[in-house]
Amino acid sequence: MMPTTPDTPGDPSARTRTAGRSAVRTLLRLWPYVRPVRARLFTAAFVAVVASCTGLVIPLVLKWMVDGPVAGRDPAGVWLGALYLLLLGVAEAVLFGLRRWLVARPLSHVEAEMRAGLYRHLQRLPVAFHDRWASGQLLSRGTTDLMLLRQFLAFPLTFLLVNGVTILVGVGVMLLQDWTLGLVILGPAVPVVVMCALFEKRYASVARLAQDQVGDLTTVVEESVLGIRIIKGFGRHRSQARAFHGLSHTLRGTELRKARLLASIWAVIMTLPEMAIGAALVVGAVQVADGSLSAGTLVAFLSTALALRWPVESIGFLLAMSQEAATATERYFEVMDEQPEQPGPALAAPAGSAKGGARRVGSGAGGDGGLRFENVSFRYPDAPPDSPPLLDRVDLHIRPGESLALVGATGSGKTTLTSLVPRLHEVTSGRITLDGADITALSREELRAMVAVAFEEPTLFSASVGDNVLMGAGDDAGQDELERALSVAQAGFAHALPQGTATQVGEQGLSLSGGQRQRLALARAVVGRPRFLVLDDPLSALDVHTEAAVEAALRQVLARTTALIVAHRPSTVLLADRVALLSDGRITAVGTHHELLRGNAEYAHLMAGAPAREEEDDDR
């Protein structure tokens, strides 16, 4: 898989949805996560409002000083006033510190909860969702977007409230001091509010664009790190770097647009109030000269206006941050709103006893046992609705204890067929039964305890070899099961690794050879002694000798399970009791290897080039 530049990451409709939604309504969706810490958050907001209003008392003390002790030349009064001012300043600082302390811990809790929620949800979303969404888009939602949300809850949320209250109280104080001067100050408020509204709308769409582009960029980085071998092998590092550069250039352009928008609103918010203060100063000075206004009132008025400068100026970037948070919330919930896999019906066994439940379903199934496909049709959800189904009315019965090989040309839908059994994809019509029980009537736990799978691409995780294998078993499986599975899969090499089965495999198991990975995946499939085994071409990467050894061991496993094995080579086919041929979405022939070899031209053609070894077939 050559890493490509994704042009439609994530949900394609998402980018057009931004317009016409209200930031407030979007942000309200955060409430369930904020609820547990609401007491602290409200206390913090209250403390901040008190702190901010404490600051507004300072001008009143100034007024008292100017009109009282200063006018009356009373040094002791001035010192007293200074002391008051000092105390007020200290109180303000202490209260703001208290606010910070109050919010820090609960908010990191909110962020962690949201991230855990996202991760949990991603695990439960169907494979069809993951087929559709670029991984970088999911990654950026779990990182950048959640960070934006935490910052929003910590800062802009509180300060929009605090500054709003402060501005209201401040304006009230100014109007009480002198209402003509107050009106002069309030004049520019109207254009500022209009500008803010316009700004918000435009900023919303640019912010969304920027966050989506971060997702695109993450996808490219992720793909090129995972595909580094291909990139180097084909000497594609230049074109890959170009793709990255192109995307980061686009992102930079978007960020610059954000900065320009922010700069323009900032200019308006800074300039207009500044001019209003200048005008008030002139009008006020004239009134003081006339004797219609006391000097103390003018001082108080102007220092109130100056104290309001920060709350007013901050509105611009507080709005910007809130807008980004709204976008992040939107992106977060786009994923959270996706329907997870249905857990299955209520007859499900209580969690933890899935295996017991599976046995219960299996008992008394009678002649209807085994793995049965009944009239199964399937089309990928993203395929055009008028296209022919990939699997068309497939009927197949694998009797209990039997193993059936599935053969078909490449791209005929073998992997797709196998993925229907553990319900990685849902059948479009028809049904699949395990020992008579419809797989849709089983809970996911029951189903996945009954069926074990090994896919063509053996996926390993960054964990120890032992843990990778034991993933296929219940929590109670231990060293004995591990040993048995490793010997079945001929994966004895694990003991020769530096730390034996405790050796960590690198990301995706890339530190192991293809055949080693395949054998570990096989061990994982058999470790839980599943009653049904689905193997997608499990031996393709093994050399002839290892293959023979794995086959010999696998034959013992297959004797005790019901198995569906996708096979490309006669040697794998010969592991199975019977063979089914998949062609044009239908099962066109079922029989033994030799029957089909003689009677079916397509099968003979698929198996040509490597004639079957007679003596092995005679074993059974």
> Can you give the binding site for ligand ATP, defined by CB under 6 A?
131, 380, 382, 390, 408, 410-416, 456
Q: Which does 131 bind (CB under 5 to 8 A by kind): Mg ion, ligand ATP, none?
A: ligand ATP
- Would you say 411 or 498 has its CB closer to ligand ATP? 411
Assign 3-class secondary structure to 192-209: HHHHHHHHHHHHHHHHHH
- Least distance from C-beta 425 to ligand ATP, angstroms? 8
- Residue 540: phi, psi to the nearest 5? -65, -30
Q: Which does 137 bind (CB under 5 to 8 A by kind): ligand ATP, Mg ion, none?
A: none
- Least distance from C-beta 565 to ligand ATP, angstroms? 13
Tell me the window of 339-347, 378-386, 411-419, 494-502 that interacts with Mg ion (CB under 5 A): 411-419
- Least distance from C-beta 489 to Mg ion, angstroms? 20
Instruction: Burial-class residue 432 by CB neighbours within 10 Å (0-12, 13-18, 19+).
Output: buried
Q: Is 511 in the site for Mg ion (CB under 5 A)?
A: no
CB atoms within 10 A of CB 529: 18
Q: Which does 619 bind (CB under 5 to 8 A by kind): ligand ATP, Mg ion, none?
A: none
Q: Which does 498 bind (CB under 5 to 8 A by kind): ligand ATP, Mg ion, none?
A: none
- Least distance from C-beta 415 to Mg ion, angstroms? 3
Q: Is 248 in the site for Mg ion (CB under 5 A)?
A: no
Among 303, 377, 415, 511, binds Mg ion (CB under 5 A): 415
- Would you say 317 or 380 has its CB closer to ligand ATP? 380
- Would you say 72 or 609 has its CB closer to ligand ATP? 609
- Would you say 208 or 568 has its CB closer to ligand ATP? 568
Please list, in sequence order, all residues whose beta carbon lies within 8 angstroms of the beta carbon of residue 96, skipping any fewer than 6 positions away. 48, 51
Tell me the window of 244-252, 409-417, 460-468, 493-501 that interacts with Mg ion (CB under 5 A): 409-417
**Separation of alpha carbons 587 and 599, rounded Å:** 15
- Least distance from C-beta 594 to Mg ion, angstroms? 25
- For residues 285 and 298, the answer to whether their CB atoms sit within 8 Å is yes
**Separation of alpha carbons 181 and 286, rounded Å:** 11
- Least distance from C-beta 381 to ligand ATP, angstroms? 8
Mutual angle of helices 156-177 and 309-336, in 10-degree steps? 150
- Least distance from C-beta 342 to Mg ion, angstroms? 26
**Separation of alpha carbons 580 and 600, rounded Å:** 11
**Of the candidates 297, 50, 86, which has an alpha carbon nearest to the alpha carbon of residue 178?**
297
Rg (CA), the chain: 35
Q: Is 205 in the site for Mg ion (CB under 5 A)?
A: no
| E strand residue ranges, 155-298 | none
Nearest residue to ligand ATP on Cβ basis: 415
Tell me the window of 94-102, 318-326, 410-418, 607-615 that interacts with Mg ion (CB under 5 A): 410-418
- Would you say 222 or 456 has its CB closer to ligand ATP? 456
**Separation of alpha carbons 219 and 236, rounded Å:** 17
- Would you say 303 or 415 has its CB closer to Mg ion? 415
Q: Which residues pair with 473 in a beta bridge?
A: none
- Least distance from C-beta 125 to ligand ATP, angstroms? 14
- Least distance from C-beta 236 to ligand ATP, angstroms? 23
Torsion of CA 261, 262, 266, 267, to 10 degrees: -40
- Would you say 287 or 415 has its CB closer to Mg ion? 415
**Separation of alpha carbons 65 and 451, rounded Å:** 84
- Residue 531: phi, psi to the nearest 5? -80, -25
Q: Is 503 in the site for Mg ion (CB under 5 A)?
A: no
Q: Is 540 in the site for Mg ion (CB under 5 A)?
A: no
- Would you say 282 or 608 has its CB closer to ligand ATP? 608
- For residues 124 and 340, the answer to whether their CB atoms sit within 8 Å is yes
Query: DSSP letter string over 128-175?
Result: HHHHHS-HHHHHHIIIIIHHHHHHHHHTHHHHHHHHHHHHHHHHHHHH
Torsion of CA 295, 299, 301, 304, to 10 degrees: -170
Name the site residues for Mg ion (rule: CB under 5 A): 415
